Structures are given as C-alpha cells and as structure tokens.
Amino acid sequence: MAAVSSTSSPSSAQGNFVGRLAQLPWWLLLLVLAGVTLLYQFLTNELYTVILDKLARGIMTTIFVTLVAFSSAIVIGLIAGLGRVSKNPVIYNLATLYVQVIRGLPILVWIFYVAFVLTPAFFTLTNALGDALSPLLGADNFLSKANTQDVTLLGRAIIALAFAYGGFEAETFRAGIQSIGRGQMEAARSLGMSYFQAMRYVILPQAVRRVLPPLGNDFIAMLKDSSLVSVLGVRDITQEARLYVAASFRYPETYNTLAFVYLSMTIVLSLIVKGVEARLGKDGRGS
C-alpha cells in the first residue's frame, strides 16, 4: 500500500497542478495583455493618442444615451411587466403585443422605424389634433405648430433604444414577479391590502431584488448596443471612429482603439455587476 501511495503521489500532484492551471482566468490575462499592448501604443505612438482624443469626444454621448435609454427602459419594462401578469385581458394583451413586436424586430430596424416612421406619424396625428382643437386653442396652437424636426436624431435614438429594451425588461420583471410564491400575495390580501398595495409593498421589493443581476447584464448590453445610434449620425464613440476612418483611412489603429474603449467600459461594468451579485448572494444566505 505504501508503494502504491508513493507511486501515485507525483501523478496526483501533477493533476492538481494542471487543474489549478486550468482554472486560471486565462481570458482575463489575454485581455490584460492586449490592453497593456494598446496602452503602450497610446504612450509611445502619437497616432493612437490622436485617435483616442477623437473618440473621447463621443464618450459622454455614449454614456448619456446608455443612462437615459436604460433608465427609461426600466420604467417601460416595469409597466409592461405588470401588464404581462395582469388579470385584465385588455391590459394583458396590450402588454403582450408590445413585447412580441419588440422581440420580433432587430434593434437596428426598430431604430430606423422609430426615427423615420413612428416619429413623423406621431407629429402628423398631433397636427391633426391641433387643427381639430383650433376653435378652442386657436389656429396657431402648439399642437398645430409641432414639427418632426423638434425631436433630434439623438432623441429619436434614445426613444427607440428605451422601447426596445423595455420589451426585454418586461419579460425580466414578469419572471421576477412570477418567481414570488402566490402565498405572498394571498397573505398580503388577507391583511387588507389592495392588489396594488400588495404588489407595491410586498411583491415588487422581492422581485426587484431577484432581477437586479439580469438588469445589470442588460445595462452592459445597452452600453454596447448604444453604438447602433451611429446609424442616425449621432456622434457617439462609434460615429467618431467612423468619421475619423473616413478622413484618415487608418482602419487598424482606429478600430483597435474603439474596441479597447468599449472593452474597458464593459469589463469595468461586468466586475461591478459580479460584485453586486456576490453581495446579494451573501445577504441572501445571511437572511
């Protein structure tokens, strides 16, 4: 037995070493290596410095679009998610129609549709309403004078992204609400709460806690999908890169820098989301 133990010990140690080696985050090490390489270029190559300065002009636009669109998407998604679990057939079907339309259209197509179809149609209806109310509001009322150009392409892009992600968040909230046991609602109603009070004070606080990790992942996805606003000419990071490439034809350097900027932002956000997930998991075990 001792001989068998002595002969198997080296292979066991070797297997443990290989196992630990395989568990290392090689993907992160490779990303760090690529980042260090690009950082060296930024410090030593003037061209990379110029490109980074050009792209920096669009960072605030990207962050602004992401924050405003995602905040709006959460509100829209919460409303639609409540509609998806509503007992009212009209509300349920309207919410389901919205979710199915959003899930059936590519986000890029949806951005074009909102910008060049729905926005002009909305102002056409607004002008018609203003003309109909002209005896009460006057011939030059604000509804009649409203114009499609009043909404910038940046505004249209934000609206499109908000409603696109609102459809995804609706399903996230629906799943979170339905994950709460029915006994919670029944107990709240037995205490004299109305349906809306029970939903607000009992169900939603628990559901929101459960859907925070997927909401964080969707926020990262929104940051990446915000690059789609460049198709409308919005001066985000991607559009700034496209404009610089069109003038300089320095494709590798420009798109290397663009990829580095997006990767930096998404990795930081991913680490924050993982930290939130770990904190929620720890709190959940403690309770």
pLDDT > 50? residue 1:
no
pLDDT > 60? residue 253:
yes
User: Options 2.60.120.10, 1.10.3720.10, 3.10.20.30, 3.20.20.80; which CATH number does 57-276 get?
Assistant: 1.10.3720.10
Q: Are 95 and 170 in contact (CB under 8 A)?
A: yes
pLDDT digit string (tens) for 179-229?
A: 888 888 888 888 888 888 888 888 888 888 889 889 999 999 999 999 999
pLDDT at position 127 is 86
Mean pLDDT across 265-270: 89
Residue ranges of the domains in the chain?
57-276
Q: Which of 16-25, 49-58, 66-75 has the lowest mean pLDDT?
A: 16-25
| Buried-state track 70-102, b at ≥16 Cβ within 10 A, e below 16 | bebbbebbbbbbbbbbeeeeebeeebeebbeeb
CB within 8 A of 23, min separation 6: which ones?
none
pLDDT digit string (tens) for 82-141?
A: 999 998 999 999 999 999 999 999 999 999 999 999 999 998 898 888 888 888 877 777
Q: Are 168 and 194 in contact (CB under 8 A)?
A: no
pLDDT > 60? residue 2:
no
Within 10 A of 200 (CB to CB), how many other CB atoms are there? 13
Distance of CA 55 to the CA centre of its chain: 21
